[in-house]
Structure 1
């Protein structure tokens, strides 16, 4: 199965739907998560219909911050939403070979205090998981101080 988690930094460009369809075709994507959508729910409803995926789970952004969109093909037998949070969506995925595993897609707040809440929530999820777990996304963290655009306290 082919999965892609992408921080789009906004889906406002008119070329966005064509780009997603091209990525889907070229890489035979079974699952796509788009992070930091930065669009209102009325815009998102018109955009998602143009992307060519039969299944979806959307977490709208708050204002123009955040947003997590998950799309998947019929090649994935089922996706069940276990928990929704404005900084993550926690899913149970069953592939065509009946293999079941957990997937958590994250878009962490760029500010530290809400990000602490994210880590607290994720630490409460961890003990309940039995089996494979993929945790991926944009954690809005840096490893090195020189990687930061701002030198404010994180």
Structure 2
């Protein structure tokens, strides 16, 4: 089970992110419309939709979001979608199975900034390609930058409980990425772990694989940003 991620910055917007593990699942069909009604996020990032564009358009209509950008699923997994309101202009620059990258412009404040919505490859050794993609972006970007999503990676052994220890090389790869990008973890309110496998006792595994990071320029724009995780339908304080 994946927890919801919230990013809220006063007088700008609220971004909500969730790995729904299939928008056709009973949990998603019940929960996502109720979530949108209760929390009313300006931007909703869905990971692992397992839907093609045509079916995602039906989801968009049901959720009453005027705008959507979709990356189709491949095979039986994957699929990304960013849904957003009319007060947000999102100019998509690039989209692939692991990321949606673009520039947000809030019409109310006339402030624009790049954002990357990320889905780290669930196969550990393939994640380096996603990290190098972000490094390539860093080489052509300047100014504020926000990155958020399901990285499928941890920065230390303390961010995982249960199961086999994550090999140190994968932890180091992710830590070095954050250093190369000059990104700061924005922390969080709520549960310490963002993914649970829902098994009992010794088979139970918990990890903090969702996070929000930003560079110094972005934090200068939004010093009051708040990040939190919660179970479905529990709104951020």
Fold match by TM threshold 0.5: yes
Where 1:50 maps in the other structure, the secondary structure is helix
Q: Which string of whole-angstrom CA distances, capped at 9 and with x for unpartnered residues, describes residues 62-91 of structure 1?
A: 112221110000121x11111112100101
Report the counterpart of residue 94 of structure 1 in structure 2: 105
Distance 1:23 1:128, change over 3 A: same
- Cα distance in structure 2, aligned partners of 1:82 and 1:40: 20
How many Å apart are 1:27 and its aligned residue? 1.8
Distance 1:115 1:75, change over 3 A: same
Q: Which string of whole-angstrom CA distances, capped at 9 and with x for unpartnered residues, describes residues 107-149 of structure 1?
A: 1111123211111111000122222211011111133285465
Contact 1:40 1:63 in 2 (8 A): no
TM-score, normalisation: structure 1: 0.85
Are 2:153 and 1:141 aligned? yes
- Cα distance in structure 2, aligned partners of 1:48 and 1:40: 12
Deviates further, 31-40 or 118-127: 31-40
Q: Kindly indicate whether structure 1 or structure 2 has the higher relative contact order, using CA contacts under 8 Å at least 6 residues apart.
A: 2
Deviates further, 114-123 or 12-21: 12-21
Task: From 73, 91, 96, give the equivalent of 1:80.
Answer: 91
- What is the root-mean-square deviation in Å for CA atoms of aligned residues? 2.3
| Matched ranges for 1:1-154 at <5 A | 1-14=13-26, 16-17=28-29, 19-76=31-88, 78-96=89-107, 97-142=109-154, 143-144=156-157, 147=161, 149=163
Computing the radius of gyration from Cα coordinates, the structure with the larger value is: 2
Contact 2:90 2:104 in 1 (8 A): yes
Distance 1:41 1:116, change over 3 A: same
Corresponding residue pairs, total:
153
Contact 1:91 1:104 in 2 (8 A): yes
